[in-house]
Amino acid sequence: MSDARGRLIIISAPSGAGKGTVIRELRRLRPELRYSVSATTRAPRPGEEHGVDYIFVTPEEFEAMEARGEFLESETYVGRRYGTPRSPIERNIGDGADTILEIEVKGARKVRAKKPDALSIFLAPPSEQELRRRLRDRGTTPGEEFERRLDTAKKEMEAIGEYEYAVINDDPERAAQEIISIIDRS
């Protein structure tokens, strides 16, 4: 981190690409990287913590944050709202810290338009079969939502070419290492 300002690093991955495990590896291998904590109207999953994994808010609270211009971008994903708070990012970047944004493809487009210097990485599952398996094994996703997430994930795969880099998650540690080498050489 020799630059005066940190960089924005967008990571998008279709639901079921195994992003959570890769990010855990990334945190372990590079503890100095910072992560943007998004606001969302979806319910917490078991083990998720308010303020750590997401800022969990009601739809009314989300709208109020949006109206105050607090988001760098916001999107609807599978019927829920998600937004990237602007001020922590500006602070991190100003401190010279590289900051990861884990956001879906429509939000990523908006961030790239506003911040053309942002580095963008697409994390993909090794196959559609593996994507289905991972989505199904996440026992916390109800049946109808599984179908919607699978549909969305397949559409999201089409956006892979919009990203500067694509990383295949065949193994989480290897994928995390590859992301680190991309960050280091960019």
Binding site for ligand 5GP (CB under 6 A): 15, 38, 42, 73, 75, 77, 82-84, 102-104, 107
- State which residue, 1 or 64, has the beta carbon closest to ligand 5GP: 64
CA distances from 52 to 10, 31, 73, 165 (A): 18, 15, 19, 27
Q: How far is the CB of 10 from ligand 5GP (least distance, A)?
A: 10
Nearer CB in complex with ligand 5GP: 37/182: 37
Q: Which is nearer to ligand 5GP, 76 or 181 (CB)?
A: 76
Cβ 149 to ligand 5GP shortest distance, Å: 8
Q: Residue 119: which of 95, 135, 100 has the closest Cα?
A: 100
Cβ neighbours, 10 Å, residue 76:
12
Q: Which is nearer to ligand 5GP, 18 or 83 (CB)?
A: 83
